[in-house]
């Protein structure tokens, strides 16, 4: 694995950490948001594992998850949105042609 892949994986780790923190906030108080965050965490963990295995070409982007997160009412300037946008920006800067 090269250093760019390691850095890319770190962006996913950061987003996963933010998602876990948000899960702690909603645990047992808002089941719908908790379920949504769990799905997002699963997507991020899967994508991170693919990057760590060197399968960056399997990265499909986070447009769908970003749209869903915004649609459920997440503020556009939240830490969660920033973390997801960071992943997208890193990918575009380092892997897009």
CATH number for the segment(s) 3-94: 1.20.1270
Contact status, residue 62 vs residue 42, Cβ threshold 8 Å: no
CA distances (Å), 7 to each of 13, 28, 67, 68, 79, in order? Answer: 10, 34, 24, 26, 19
- Sequence length of the chain is 97
Contact status, residue 46 vs residue 19, Cβ threshold 8 Å: no
The backbone torsions φ and ψ at residue 78, rounded to the nearest 5 degrees and listed phi first, read: -80, 165
- Single pTM value for the model: 0.92
Contact status, residue 7 vs residue 49, Cβ threshold 8 Å: no
Task: Domain ranges for the chain, please list them.
Answer: 3-94
pLDDT of residue 25: 87
pLDDT of residue 1: 66
Tens digit of pLDDT at every position of the chain (97 positions): 689 999 999 999 999 999 999 999 888 888 998 999 999 999 999 999 999 999 998 888 999 999 999 998 899 999 999 999 999 999 999 998 6
């Amino acid at each position: 694995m090269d250093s760019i892949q390691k850095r890319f994986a770190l962006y996913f780790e950061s987003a996963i950490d933010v998602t876990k923190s948000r899960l702690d906030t909603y645990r047992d108080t808002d089941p719908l948001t908790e379920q949504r965050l769990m799905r997002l965490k699963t997507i991020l963990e899967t994508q991170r594992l693919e990057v760590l295995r060197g399968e960056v070409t399997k990265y499909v982007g986070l447009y769908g998850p970003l749209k869903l997160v915004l649609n459920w009412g997440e503020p556009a300037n939240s830490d969660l949105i920033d973390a997801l946008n960071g992943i997208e920006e890193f990918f575009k800067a380092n892997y897009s042609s």
